[in-house]
Every structure is written in C-alpha cells, then in structure tokens.
Structure 1
Amino acid sequence: MNFHAIRAIYLFELARTWRTLLQSIATPVISTSLYFVVFGSAIGSRMADMGGVGYAAFIVPGLIMMMLLTESISNASFGIYMPRYSGTIYEVLSAPVSYLEIVIGYVGAAATKSIVLGLIILATARLFVDFQIAHPLVMLLFLVLTALTFSLFGFIIGIWANGWEKLQIVPSLIVMPLAFLGGSFYSIEMLPPLWQKITLLNPVVYLISGFRWSFFGESDVNVAVSLGMTLGFMLLCLLVIGRIFRTGYRLKN
C-alpha cells in the first residue's frame, strides 16, 4: 500500500476546502441554520410532538443527514471530475498508484470534509434546539458510514459526468427530492398505509431513520435494517467503482 500517494491525494483535496472555506463550510452551515430557524423555531412551536419528541428536535437528524448526502456527493464528484476536466487524471493513472489508493485518497478526503461539516452543523443546531443524543456511538457510526457511502456514490458520478451540468443532475433531481420525501421533516407513520409502503422503496428513509434512532431511540424502520441497507449500498458502490477501473470507463478514453 502506497501511503505516501494516498496522503498526497488526501491532503491536496483537503487543501481545496481551506481555499474555498466560504463555499465549502460557511454556505452549508448557514443554509442549514436557516432550516432550524424557519422549521424549528417558527413552525416547530406550532407543531405537535413526534413520538414524544418536540418537532424542532425531531428534524435535527433529518436536516443533518440531508446535508451530509448532498455535500458528500458534491465533494467527491467535484474532486474526481476536476482532474478529468483538466487532464491531470492521466498523471495520476500513470503514477505507481493503485486504483484502491486513488479511491481511498479522493473518497477519504470527501468523506472527511462531510463528517467535519456534519459535526459543525450538529454543534450549530444546539444553538437553536435543545436535544440529547441517546446513542452517540451509533450516531457517529451512521455519520461516518453515510459520508463514506455517498462519497463513493459521488465518485461514480464524477467519473460518469462529461459536463458540469451533469454533476448537478443526480444531487438536484434525484437525491434532494428523495431526502425531502424520506422523512427529513416528518415521520412516515403520518402517511396513509399505501404511501408508507411506497416510501419504504426510498433508500434515504433507512439512512434518516437509523440516524434519528441514534438521537431519540425511536425510528420508522428497525435500526438493524437501516444499517444493513447502508452497508449494502456501500458494497454496491464499491463494485461499480471496481468495474469502472477494470474497464477504464471515461478514464482512459
């Protein structure tokens, strides 16, 4: 394992965060804080409790998870797309670096940025909402697994995209709607029985439900199922990336 190569890619990607601090950190924190102000303070005071949890506290895990999904995809897709766009990817591919080391470097940096951002937003949420975390270790587990999984997914999107507009298609038109419909702002138990079954086809439901369980000990889906779905999607992403490097899809042509 070439740890020097992994470290070089990892630190280079992290350095881009500090060069674009306003866009990488400040913008997501401010936009998520606005959700806390509008939905937590303004609307939450008029909403009934959700399973014994105040509405303002109830939406905290959903908002963090929604941000985590979009930022993980954005960080990873942009990180691998830029070398393809500028042509420097060929220097990386021709270097004595394995495909595994390339993935660890790029995905590890993207996941690290998302995890740090998630923790910052979690701390920011305490300024607006009073809540407790019932299972902090499980919360960290879901935070790390989700960041890694969707950074892998973003890595795939960054290789698939052949234009700047395609980098935004999946996050904007697919992931964001799924996050809104996945229980970020409500419990799926509030839906009619038919729609509850349909909603269970949404993979984001399992992520948000498991993450919310770590906060309040209550969830719409069994936490073991949530964890299994997350690991399953991670494995699928790893298989796709392995196939991409074996065939050289949009990397060697």
Structure 2
Amino acid sequence: MNLRAVWAIYRQEMARALRTLLQSVVSPVISTSLYFVVFGSAIGSRITEVDGISYGAFIVPGLIMLSLLTQSISNASFAIYFPKFVGSIYELLSAPVSYLEIILAYVGAAATKSIALGLIILATAALFVPLHIEHPFWMLGFLVLTAMTFSLFGFIIGIWAGNFEQLQLVPLLIVTPLTFLGGSFYSIDMLPPLWRTISLFNPVVYLVSGFRWSFFGASDVSIGVSLGMTLTFLLICVAVVSWIFKTGYRLRN
C-alpha cells in the first residue's frame, strides 16, 4: 500500500478543513447550542425526564448523531465531487494510487473531521447539562463506526451527484428528516404502537439508540441489533463503492 499517497490526500483534505474552520466547526457548535436553548429549555420545562434521564441529557446523543451524520456525508461528498467538478479527478485516477488508497484517504479525512466535531459538541453539551458516560469505549466505537459508515455513504453521493443541487439533495431531503424522526429528541416508546412499529424501519433509530445506550445504559433497541444494523449499512456502502470503482460509474465519463 502506498501510504505516502494516502497521507498526501488525507493531509490535503484536513488542510481544507482548517481553511474553512468557521463553517466546519463553529457553525455546527452554535447550532447545537441553539438546540439546547430551544429543546432543553422550552421542551425540557415540560418533559423533565425520559426513562429516568433528564431531558437535557437525554437529547445529547441525538444531537451528536445529528451533526455526525450530516457532517460525515457533507465532508465526504464534497471532497470527491469537487475534483470531478474541476476535472482533477482524472489526474488522481491516472496516478499510481489504488482505489483502496483513494477511499482510505478521502473517507478517513471526512471521518476524522466528523469525529473531532462530535467530540467538540460533546464538550459543548457538558457546559449545559451534567453528563456521565457509562460505556466510554462503546461510545467512541459507535462514534468512529458511524462516522466511517456515513463518510462512505457521502462518498457515494459525491460520485453520483451531477451538480451541486444533487449534492445537497440526499442530506437535506432524506438524512436530516430521518434523523429528526429517528428518536434524536424523544424515545420511540413514547409513540403510539403503530408509529413505533413504523419507526423501526428508520435506520437512524438504531444508530441513535445504540449511541444513547453507551451514555446511559438504556435504549429503545437492543445494543446487539443496533450494532448489527450499523455494520450491515457499512457493508452495503463498501459493496457499492467497490462496484463504482470496478465499473467506473460516473468517474470515467
């Protein structure tokens, strides 16, 4: 494996993040703080506890997951779409760099930025509510696994997108609504039976539930099912990316 090539692409992507620090870090942190003000104060005054957990602390995993999903997809999709847009993707494809090395560099950089942002949001949340993480290693594991999975998903979107409008289509119209409806700000056990059953078809429910379990030891879905669903989505993304590079879909034409 050409580790020098991987490091060069990775370093370039991380340098781009530092140049857009205001957009990459400051903006999501401010948005998270506003969520705490609106949901934590306004709704928290009416819903004091959920499953024995204060509402302000209950929404922390959901807020982190919301930012993690959107930022992972955004970082990875733009990272691969921009070389396509300016035409430099052909230089990359003709260079002595394997497809695996390209994926490792771009997805690794996107996941690194998302994980760092998730930890910053966690530190920000600790300023608003007292937090105790029961399973810190599981928390970090879910953080890394989710970031890698959705960075791969974003990589697929970046290759599929034909313009900037399509680049934003999936995150805005699909991922963000699914995250809001995936138990980020409530427990699906609070829903009527019919809607609770419908919610189980939302893949984000399993991500949020597993991540929340690492904080409080309680979740809507068992930790085994949450982990299994996350790994399944990761394998699907790996399979799709492998097919894209094997066929050259929207890369060679």
Structure 1 segments of 4+ aligned residues over 4 angstroms from their partners: none
Q: Which residue of 2 aligns with 1:16?
A: 16
Q: Which residue of 1 aligns with 2:213?
A: 213
Listed as ranges, the matches of 1:127-206 within 5 Å are 127-206=127-206
5+ long unaligned stretches in structure 1: none
Q: Is the 8 A contact 1:178 1:204 kept in 2?
A: yes
Listed as ranges, the matches of 1:39-118 within 5 Å are 39-118=39-118
Structure 1 distance, partners of 2:95, 2:178, is 39
Q: Which letter maps to 2:119? A: L
**C-alpha displacement at 1:33, in angstroms?**
1.1
Q: Tell me the TM-score normalized by structure 2.
A: 0.99
Cα deviation, 1:152-186, whole Å, max 9, x if unaligned, reads 00000000000000011000000000000000010
Cα deviation, 1:132-156, whole Å, max 9, x if unaligned, reads 1010000000000000000000000
Q: Which residue of 2 aligns with 1:27?
A: 27
Q: Is the 8 A contact 1:209 1:226 kept in 2?
A: yes
Q: 2:115 aligns to what SS in structure 1?
A: helix
Listed as ranges, the matches of 1:219-230 within 5 Å are 219-230=219-230
Q: Tell me the TM-score normalized by structure 1.
A: 0.99
Structure 2 distance, partners of 1:114, 1:89, is 24
1:241 aligns with 2:241: yes
Cα deviation, 1:34-80, whole Å, max 9, x if unaligned, reads 10111113321321310000001000000100110000000000000
**C-alpha displacement at 1:194, in angstroms?**
1.2
Q: Which letter maps to 2:198? A: I
Structure 2 distance, partners of 1:8, 1:89, is 15
**C-alpha displacement at 1:241, in angstroms?**
0.3
How many percent of aligned residue pairs carry the same amino acid? 72
Structure 2 distance, partners of 1:9, 1:234, is 22
**C-alpha displacement at 1:131, in angstroms?**
1.7
Q: Which letter maps to 2:189? A: E
Q: Which letter maps to 1:118? A: G
Q: 1:45 aligns to what SS in structure 2?
A: coil
